[in-house]
Amino acid sequence: TAIAPDEILTEIRVPATARTTAYVKTEQKASGFALAGAAVVIGADGVRVGITGVAAKAYRATGVEQALAGQRTPTAEAIARAAAHAADGVQPLGDIHASPAFRAHLAQVNTRRAIERALSRA
């Protein structure tokens, strides 16, 4: 919108995003190779969770998101129950660094920690 020569701009409104984020990863100690990671974004529209290093490609952990839907300040127990869904629907990879079961476990642990960290920043 153009302002006429005799007009003055008196206010600009920018909606607040009010988002908090966290990323937690587990590395192989000797090499620093990331075995699994969890990225969390918490906003007015809910929780979004992305998992890295567990499956053939990064993925969104929608089971975790659904388990936390509608909870503004979830309890530690609710977070743990939700994080248990971090590897739902994927085939975790196994290699010399970590078995598929261990990567699935890391997805759950890192997801719980990332959610807790993001909430502590809110």
25 bridge partner residues:
37
In terms of residue numbers, what domain contains 91? 31-121
pLDDT surpassing 70 at residue 32 = yes
Per-residue tokens: 60: 């969104």
Provide the domain count of the chain.
Answer: 1
Q: Per the domain annotation, does 26 fall within a domain? A: no
Q: How far apart are CA 63 and CA 68, in angstroms?
A: 9
List, for residues 84-119, the tens digit of each pLDDT value: 999 999 999 999 999 999 999 999 999 999 999 999
Q: What is the largest CA-CA distance in the chain?
A: 71
Helix, strand and coil content of the chain, in percent to the nearest 5, comes to: 30, 20, 50
CATH number of the domain enclosing 76: 3.30.390.50
List, for residues 37-71, the tens digit of each pLDDT value: 999 999 988 999 999 999 999 999 999 999 999 99
Q: Per the domain annotation, does 35 fall within a domain? A: yes
pTM: 0.84
